């Protein structure tokens, strides 16, 4: 255990977050995402829902302030009537931890998969909400 580090953050995840540089991307994937077949580096967080994990990650991980939308979600497939209510929960967490956050970038499903293949790492969670996948672009910590 470490002081001020959430027990949701595994040692492997701390290592990956620390290795990442400015502009590197972290995919936080739901339980349906093909994480193992896509990831360059796969970190497992099986059984954990994304919202508390996202909140814990954002205590350590600065978002990129030099891009318009440092957080991206996978768009709902056209014709699918599902409304991803989890996105609003993500917005609340992002606005609380990153005051400059305004809006997500919405990425078409296959484009999201291609971008995930280039991401520094994929964090596979146990999140069961549909369309819960998220990409975060790492920023810098200003002295």
pTM listed for this prediction: 0.96
5, 15, 19, 22: the catalytic one is 22
- Percentage of the chain lying above the pLDDT 90 cut: 92
Is residue 124 in some structural domain?
Answer: yes
To the query of whether residue 22 is one of the catalytic residues in this protein, the response is yes
Strand ranges for 30-88 from DSSP E: 42-45, 71-74
pLDDT tens digits, residue range 67-109? 999 999 999 999 999 999 999 999 999 999 988 899 999 999 9
Q: Where in the sequence is the domain holding 129, given as residue range(s)?
A: 24-137
Residue 142: the pLDDT is: 82
Q: What is the mean pLDDT of residues 18-37?
A: 98
- Looking at the 3D structure of the chain, how many domains does it have? 1
Is residue 129 in some structural domain?
Answer: yes
Could you tell me how far CA 119 lies from the centroid of its own chain? 11
8 Å CB contact between 115 and 10 = no
Is residue 143 in some structural domain?
Answer: no
CATH number for the domain spanning 55: value is 3.40.1650.10
Is residue 7 in some structural domain?
Answer: no
Query: Token pair of 95, please?
Result: 């606005």
What's the first-to-final CA gap in the chain, in angstroms? 27
Query: Token pair of 90, please?
Result: 């993500």
Is residue 16 in some structural domain?
Answer: no
């Amino acid at each position: 255990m470490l002081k001020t580090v959430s027990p949701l953050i595994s040692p492997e995840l701390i290592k990956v977050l620390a290795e990442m540089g400015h502009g590197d991307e972290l995919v936080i994937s739901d339980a349906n995402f093909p994480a193992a077949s896509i990831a360059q580096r796969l970190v497992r967080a099986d059984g954990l829902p994304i919202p508390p994990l996202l909140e814990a990650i954002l205590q350590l991980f600065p978002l990129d302030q030099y891009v318009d939308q440092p957080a991206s979600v996978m768009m709902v497939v056209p014709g699918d009537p599902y409304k991803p209510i989890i996105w609003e929960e993500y917005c609340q967490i992002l606005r609380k931890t990153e005051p400059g956050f305004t809006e997500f970038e919405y990425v078409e499903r296959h484009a999201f998969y291609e971008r995930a293949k280039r991401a520094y790492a994929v964090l596979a969670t146990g999140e069961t909400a549909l369309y819960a996948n998220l990409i975060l672009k790492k920023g810098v910590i200003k002295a």
